[in-house]
Amino acid sequence: MKFKVDENLPAEVADDLRAAGHDAMTVVDQGMVGTSDNAMLVRVAGEERVLLTMDKGIGNVLRYPPADFSGLVVFRPEQTGRGATLAFIRRALPSLLEIDLRGRLAVVSQAGIRIR
């Protein structure tokens, strides 16, 4: 799979995905820091990448219909902070990578992964 890691996630997430054999880019790598959600999602769709983010607005299915994308993943960790966020994502990644994310929104929380 091809992934885009949003600027609000630790860059190590992209490293972990690459180590697992996936193509992963970060928003920072591409010089897109501060880019609007709309502009970023146009690029994500064009690149056919799954977007990984903590931006709750991306989960608005009326504004960003999942069917228009290769996949949208919104992480909702209970604890804040870089280390806690990275640990949360690392726990979720193995299960997340088993899901066909094309045209879907996945919301990852302590309760599990909810697919829309």
Looking up residue 9, the CATH number of its domain turns out to be: 3.40.50
Token pair of 93, please?
């990644």
DSSP assignment letter at 29:
T
Predicted pLDDT at 109 = 97
Q: Print pLDDT tens along the chain (116 aa).
A: 999 999 999 999 999 999 999 999 999 998 899 889 999 999 999 999 999 999 999 999 999 999 999 999 999 999 989 999 999 999 999 999 999 999 999 999 999 999 99
Predicted pLDDT at 80 = 87
Structural domain of 57:
2-115
Number of domains in the chain: 1
Predicted pLDDT at 112 = 95
Q: Rounded CA gap, 5 and 74, in Å?
A: 11
DSSP assignment letter at 104:
-
Q: Rounded CA gap, 104 and 70, in Å?
A: 8
Q: Rounded CA gap, 19 and 30, in Å?
A: 20
